[in-house]
């Protein structure tokens, strides 16, 4: 007589698939985007709690039995938006396939929770399963996608022809289109706030913007955007431009426009970005603006760069910042969210070996990595729409910017990777030497406005909040709704989303404790920030009639300048 399968035995195929997928996925994670062989490392062995597997087996068999009973009869619309369309419910083969897929996906994710392993291993395994699930969805296949099939029938095959054309066009571009890229041009209808380039070196151009008020604040305002993206996320279009908003508030605004690195910058280090870019820009704005102190803002990695520069200057006895604004910025890298799954000693060592002595991290690789953090929204959604349904994605300025990738110098990247994400040394006073100085973030003597986005998957809200515990100046923390970009780019006129403020000013050890005493306010956080910044901007003076200062710093070309228009190109092999 054949022995009845136990829960563990019945799930053996699932366990084998999970383990094999884990091996492949973790290998991919360790060497994501790498050229050449990955470093050797030991993969952890997976073990499962038998009682949890037994319970999962019973649940799976019960749900599978219900599916088989229903057979190929039409079903109600799925709660999963990939299968929610009417065409899915009226196509029995597609709806049954979707139901089986969702059942298997739930089971695999539940099996991840049954794995007996440390938290990081489980997070990596969960990520691998989610990636596999996103890629293997029946909605990604014309053979099962009922909506794509209906579209092909209704258009007499024209949608398929358009889909093939879209695919060929994207192959030529070298990336998946998320928007109609022909609808935008930098300097024409994005990055259009009027200004001029008043300085440049090999790392950046300094832009100054034309005042929109007869008087301006005496302390000029410098914005440091992330160098892993183009600065014009802060200046998309007039109605959602943070740069224009600051100009309208009466500030004399300067912005760093990073150069998109090519092979000539393959040896550039973190120290050079701090000394020759951030610190140089601070000193330039002081000189051009004629003010000993300036207001400063850093966004994402730009905030990390700005804070490091201010710490270096503090070690030299300089206190140039009248205020510091940090938007979705990590200084304490304890909580890095999903990005933590990519980082360990083997991965960092491999990157150091690959490009630590020179090279470029390809901007396309970086963009793909961030997109696959949300694969259904930022990858497969466009595969289905562009190729299976033959749709042209609508014009969207934010997604145009998102596709405008930038390279990174290898030595800069690996220093940042090891000393922040991996070893978290930036938060430790004296642990790092930058530009010849032992740095201490606590030495930055300036009031600080710290903003974090509640649903941010790149800088988790807890990671953004952690800066309140490191910086010693008077601090104000504000939480906004939405994610890393949409939470920041939220102009008041749109009257969208909410933000949270704790009026008693208390900053307890954790963001969760802070939230218990915070009040929700409808609309944008920009108005609160503008009022705060006004208090640190000094008196009103006559607006300058010309860009720059004298013959040393005069307008050389109109904003947004040529650096921001350079496209990322794949690096040449060393």
Return the active site residues.
Answer: 300
Q: In Å, how far are 87, 193, 329, 472 from 74, measured between CA atoms?
A: 10, 54, 49, 62
- How far is 425 from 409, CA to CA, in rounded Å? 21
Residue 87 contacts residue 146 (beta carbons within 8 Å): yes
3-class DSSP string for 414-480 = HHHHHHHHHCCCCCCCCCCEECCEECCHHHCCCCEEEEEECCCCCCCHHHHHHHHHCCCCCEEEEEE
Q: What is the DSSP letter of 567?
A: P
Report how far apart the first and last C-alpha atoms of the chain are (Å, whole number): 65
How far apart are the C-alpha atoms of 455 and 486, rounded to whole Å?
10
Q: Are 277 and 283 in contact (CB under 8 A)?
A: no
Eight-state DSSP code of residue 553: B
**Long-range contacts at 87-93 (CB < 8 A, ≥ 24 apart):** 87/146, 87/147, 87/149, 87/150, 88/146, 88/147, 90/146, 91/146, 91/149, 93/144
Q: Are 18 and 43 in contact (CB under 8 A)?
A: no
Instruction: Specify whether the CB–CB gap between 392 and 382 falls below 8 A.
Output: no
Element housing 245 (H / E): helix 242-248
Locate 219 and state its tokens: 């302390």
Residue 155 CB burial class (10 angstroms; 0-12, 13-18, ≥19):
middle
**Which residue from 281, 303, 263, 306 is spatially nearest to 408, judged by alpha carbons?**
263
Query: Do 188 and 291 meet the contact criterion of CB atoms below 8 Å apart?
Result: no
**CA nearest neighbour of 230 among 367, 484, 406:** 406
Question: Among 271, 270, 273, which residue's Cα sits nearest to residue 259?
Answer: 273
- Nearby residues of 518 by Cβ (< 8 Å), 6 or more positions away: 479, 500, 501, 502
Rounded-to-integer distance, Cα 246 and Cα 493, Å: 14
Interatomic CA distance for residues 310 and 437, integer angstroms? 11
Is the four-CA dihedral 319, 323, 325, 329 of positive or negative sign? positive
d(CA 144, CA 154): 17
């Amino acid at each position: 007589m054949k022995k009845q399968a136990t829960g563990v035995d019945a799930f053996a195929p699932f366990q084998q698939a999970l383990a094999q997928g884990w091996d492949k996925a973790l290998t991919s994670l360790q060497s994501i985007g790498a050229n050449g062989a990955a470093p050797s490392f030991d993969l952890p062995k997976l073990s499962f709690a038998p009682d949890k597997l037994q319970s999962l087996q019973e649940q799976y068999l019960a749900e599978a039995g219900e599916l088989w009973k229903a057979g190929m009869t039409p079903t109600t619309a799925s709660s999963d938006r990939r299968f929610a369309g009417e065409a899915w419910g009226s196509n029995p083969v597609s709806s049954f396939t979707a139901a089986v897929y969702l059942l298997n996906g739930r089971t695999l994710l539940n099996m991840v929770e049954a794995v007996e392993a440390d938290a990081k291993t489980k997070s990596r395994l969960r990520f691998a399963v989610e990636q596999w699930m996103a890629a293997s969805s029946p909605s990604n296949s014309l053979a099962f996608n009922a909506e794509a099939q209906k579209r092909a029938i209704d258009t007499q095959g024209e949608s398929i022809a358009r889909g093939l054309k879209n695919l060929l066009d994207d192959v030529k571009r070298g990336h998946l289109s998320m928007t109609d890229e022909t609808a935008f041009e930098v300097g024409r209808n994005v990055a259009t706030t009027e200004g001029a380039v008043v300085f440049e070196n090999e790392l950046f151009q300094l832009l100054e913007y034309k005042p929109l008020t007869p008087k301006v604040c005496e302390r000029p305002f410098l914005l440091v955007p992330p160098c892993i993206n183009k600065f014009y996320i802060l200046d998309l279009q007039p109605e959602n431009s943070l740069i224009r908003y600051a100009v309208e508030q009466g500030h004399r605004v300067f912005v760093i426009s990073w150069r998109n690195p090519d092979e000539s910058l393959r040896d550039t280090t973190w120290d050079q970005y701090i000394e020759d870019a951030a610190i140089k820009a601070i000193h330039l704005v002081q000189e051009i603006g004629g003010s000993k102190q300036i207001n400063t803002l850093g966004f994402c990695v730009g905030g990390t760069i700005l804070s490091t520069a201010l710490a270096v200057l503090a070690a030299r006895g300089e206190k140039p910042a009248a205020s510091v604004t940090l938007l979705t910025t990590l200084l304490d890298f304890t909580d890095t969210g999903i990005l933590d799954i990519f980082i360990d000693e083997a991965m960092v060592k491999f990157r150091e070996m690959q490009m630590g002595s020179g090279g470029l991290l390809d901007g396309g690789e970086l963009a793909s990595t961030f997109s696959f953090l949300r694969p259904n929204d930022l990858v497969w959604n466009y595969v289905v729409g562009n190729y299976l349904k033959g749709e042209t994605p609508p014009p969207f300025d934010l997604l145009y910017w998102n596709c405008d990738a930038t390279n990174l110098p290898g030595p800069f990247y690996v220093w940042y990777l090891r000393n922040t994400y991996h070893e978290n040394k930036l938060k430790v006073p004296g642990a790092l030497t930058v530009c010849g100085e032992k740095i201490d973030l606590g030495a930055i003597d300036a009031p600080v406005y710290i903003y974090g986005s509640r649903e941010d998957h790149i800088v988790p809200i807890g990671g953004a909040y952690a800066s309140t515990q490191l910086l010693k100046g008077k601090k104000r923390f504000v939480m906004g709704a939405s994610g890393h970009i949409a939470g920041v780019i939220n102009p008041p006129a749109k009257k969208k989303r909410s933000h949270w403020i704790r009026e008693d000013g208390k900053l307890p050890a954790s963001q969760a404790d802070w939230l218990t005493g915070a009040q929700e306010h409808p609309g944008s956080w920009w108005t609160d920030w503008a009022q705060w910044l006004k208090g640190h901007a000094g008196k009103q003076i006559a607006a300058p009639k010309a860009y720059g200062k004298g013959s040393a710093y005069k307008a050389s070309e109109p904003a947004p300048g040529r650096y921001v228009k350079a496209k990322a190109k794949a690096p040449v092999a060393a």
